[in-house]
Structure 1
Amino acid sequence: MSYRFNENDQFNYEVLLALGSVWRRGADPGEVLTTAAGVADGDGAAWFDAWTDLGHRVAEDADRCAATGHPLSARAAWLRAAGYFGTALVAADAIGDDGGKRAAEVFAEHRACLDRFLHACDPPAERVAIPYEDTTLPGYLVSPPGAEDDAPLPTLIVNNGSDGPLTAAWTLLGAPAVERGYRVLLFDGPGQQSMLFERGVTFRPDWENVITPVVDYLLLRPDVDPRRLALAGISQGGYWVPRALAFEQRIAAAVADPGVVRVCDSWWQHLGPDLRGLWESGDRDAFDAIIGEALEQSRSLAAMWRWRARPYGIDTPYDLLTEVARYDLMPVLDRITTPLLITDPEGEHFWPGASRRLYDALPGPKWLVRFTEEEGAHLHCEPLGRALFEQRIFNWLDARLGTPARV
């Protein structure tokens, strides 16, 4: 079964994600479908403008609701607006020379709406600054309704993917965890969201040096149960989570959605074996020339390449792929002993087969959970199977952590 809303594969997938977020009130189906229908030809600049315009309209609605004494309507609209601004950003590199400036502006609007939404939650989310090397990682700690301020609760660290907005981290993992009685930490790591757009800090492969400071911070808090700390990663977080687990032993249970063994596999499946062979030969000039020519011939391909490359902070194709090749779990897999659930969605298009390879290679407690097309829960990160995903993943987490069901 295929769902086509856009000629551009990435934009089409973004529409599926937006529709799936309706389950957690992250979007309105009418707003999504109407906007998607107007930019179905895959034009990146039109996509950016359409979703930005929708974000502005919904944000203005939210502000009016807040000003006229309708806080619940305002909160819901701020979340939708933040999600729409985030959806626009995937095409930021398609809008010409001022793309970087406009992306920064729209990101600021996205984060402002997310701030307002989280502040309007019950109880309001706490903005946190996690000590990290010579700076801090920005984040939010979100608690369930009715939780006592210092009551030690099970806590889920949500590890975002390579380029998704924090609204997606909320609707995919944060919201269902809070509903089930967890405290939830949403944060931006190196190369992610505010760390990239506002500080210019890029990815790093040794993600244990990100998660360990996060764990250090949480375990100093009296409202976090140190025995019930979980970690879940979305998309490329399926690499970062097991990488961190190889070195960080204080996590009680973890989820990789999906499993990723080598991040570069998602690049090579699109570039093909011939280009991979050329890269492996070490012929930097020839490799860069071929990629450069292809990018010159296709504006849409060039825009998507820049979007995917931006978090690594490397412009030249050969050096970029050399860096991405460092993101490889194989040298550390034998160190992982934390119970790890790995999702295995049918039709996974970024890392096909990687979930099974990761599962087979793990020495410790492990679970492989299949999501199928027949269930409507297939494709990368199960965009349209959110209810089923939550049921299976949180039932498992609850059982591992001994978390009582909330009524």
Structure 2
Amino acid sequence: MSRSEFAVHPFSADPDFDYEIRCAIGNAAGGAGDIGEVLAAVSHVRKADHEGWYAAWRELADRTLAIATTSAAGGHRVSAAAAYLRASAYYAVAVNAVSALADSDLLAPNFARQEEAWRGFVAHTAVDVDEIEIPYDEGRMPGWYFRAPSPSGAVLVVVNGSDGSRASLWASCVSAGLERGYDVLVFDGPGQQSQLFERNVPFRPDWENVLTPVFETVAAREGVDAARIVVIGISQGSYWTERALAFEHRYAAAVANPGLVDVSTSWTSQVPASMLRLLDAGENEKFDREVALGMRFSPTTAHTWRFRARPYGTNGYAETIEAVRRYTVADVAGQITTPLLILSPEAEQFWPGQSEQLAALAPGVSTVVRFTAAEGADEHCQPLAQVLTTQRVFDWLDDTLAS
């Protein structure tokens, strides 16, 4: 049977909005969303109504944060933690929604609210958590180290994607790891979340310089078995994880959700081949002029490009593409010696086929697990199948550590 025979009916006629809704619904499996309030909030938003889309999420986030504040004031810690977590996840969608708007000044106050809600969750959750600082170059990276109620000595390090929130990480793998006896670390690396929006620290391709100090910080903690530290990369975080593993071999196991070889294809697939030939010929100025002309007829695309380019620390259009093209593991994946689970969802829309490409580049260590529409587990990172995803990921991690 074809995928279309199993496909879940779209929640929005706008494919970008539909995917965000699926992610928000999926977060409900880990407590970072409530399906009814999500669907009700966006029910009136029409295709390409970016102002309405932003307003829907901002209003939902504000309302949920008010619930959290009231519950906290009344001493209802469990209710407060739950509402703070949802509010943080909803503000994160509002932050991303700003990318399509002309008023980029909305980004800072929305991210500040997202952080306020996250801090509220950390302060009220029943889980034992330490806020830590991880040495990085001459500075520090912020991290949150969650301790399992029944620790096993194993630790899961979670590498976020290009624009994911910590609340979504909680929903996708942190809570599931804690239930299984893993301590879990989430952190903001260069170009991610607070590092970008508060400190203006951009991405970097060579993430061995990030995941090595992360490993050493975790391994030094009391009660941690350094031979049982594992890592998962989510979305673009898979690239950073894979790149680091080519040089940092002390992690006991790793997961790529999904497999990623070349980050730039999610950019270049949207650019006409004739334009890419200009770049390959070194005609950057002409490329910039042609793209700028096209952007005049699509302001929303121009706003989104500016938002997506910001983490790379670039200015011109050609400069951005050239920078993103550095984010590839095609030349180093063969150096990975860590057992690697590669998730491969049907209808992967951002990096199609790259899970299998990665497995071919690192054949001795790779295990590919496929997710299908028939399981309700298609599309990037299987947004509607978080329970199935965590089951397969942690069963594999448990078995790999046991062996």
TM-score range, shorter chain: over 0.9
Query: Aligned residue for 2:4?
Result: none
Give SS of 1:5's match.
coil
How does the TM-score come out when normalised to structure 1?
0.94
Deviation at 1:72, TM superposition (A): 1.1
Q: In structure 2, what is the equivalent of residue 122 of structure 1?
A: 126
- In the TM superposition, residue 191 of structure 1 has moved relative to its aligned partner by 0.3
Distance in 2 between residues matched to 1:390 and 1:358, nearest whole Å: 21
Aligned to 1:158: 158
* Aligned partner of residue 62 in structure 1, secondary structure: helix
Q: Does 1:13 align with 2:34?
A: no
Name the counterpart of 1:92: 98
Counterparts of 1:251-330 in structure 2, within 5 Å, are: 251-330=251-330
Q: Does 1:109 align with 2:113?
A: yes
Match of 1:136 among 140, 153, 156: 140
Q: Distance in 2 between matches of 1:272 and 1:119?
A: 49
How far apart are residue 40 of structure 1 and its match? 2.8
Equivalent residues, number: 397
Give unpaired runs (5+ residues) of structure 1: none
**What is the identity, as a one-letter code, of the residue corresponding to 2:197?**
F
Q: Give the deviation of 1:70 after TM superposition.
A: 1.6
TM-superposed CA distance for 1:363, in Å, is 4.2
* Mapped partners of 2:184, 2:83: distance in 1: 21
Task: Indicate the residue corresponding to 1:356 in structure 2.
Answer: 356
Shift of 1:146: 4.8
Secondary structure (helix, strand or coil) at the match of 2:145 reads strand
Distance 1:307 1:173 in 2: 27
Select which of 137, 145, 150 maps to 2:149: 145
Mean Cα deviation higher: 231-240 or 263-272: 263-272
**Amino acid across the alignment from 1:87:** V
Q: Identity over aligned residues, as a percent?
A: 42
Matched, 1:47 2:53: yes
CA-CA distance at 1:67 after TM superposition:
1.2
- Equivalent position SS for 2:269: helix
Partner SS for 2:226: strand
Q: CA deviation at 1:250?
A: 0.8
Tell me how far 1:77 sits from its aligned partner: 0.6
1:83 aligns with one of 67, 82, 89: 89
**Superposition TM-score, scaled by structure 2 size:** 0.95
Shift in CA distance, 386/324, structure 1 to aligned 2, threshold 3 Å: same
- 1:15-36: CA deviations, max 9, x gaps? 1100111111111111111112
What is the CA–CA distance in structure 2 between the aligned matches of 1:9 and 1:89, rounded to whole Å? 18
299-308 or 77-86: bigger deviation = 299-308
Q: Which residue of structure 1 lines up, in the alignment, with residue 207 of structure 2?
A: 207
Spell out structure 1 runs of 4+ moving beyond 4 A: none
Distance in 1 of aligned mates of 2:227 and 2:38: 41
CA distance in 1, matches of 2:135, 2:91: 28
The one-letter amino acid of 2:287's match is F
Q: Does structure 2 retain, via aligned residues, the 8 Å contact 1:338–1:364?
A: no
- Are the aligned partners of 1:336 and 1:363 in contact in 2 as well (CA < 8 Å)? no
**Conserved in 1, the CA contact under 8 Å of 2:100 and 2:301?**
no
Higher deviation after alignment, 7-16 or 351-360: 7-16
Instruction: Tell me how far 1:370 sits from its aligned partner.
Output: 0.2
Q: CA separation of 1:202/1:158 partners in 2, compared to 1, >3 Å: closer, same or farther?
A: same
Aligned CA distance change for structure 1 residues 72 and 62 (closer, same or farther; 3 Å): same
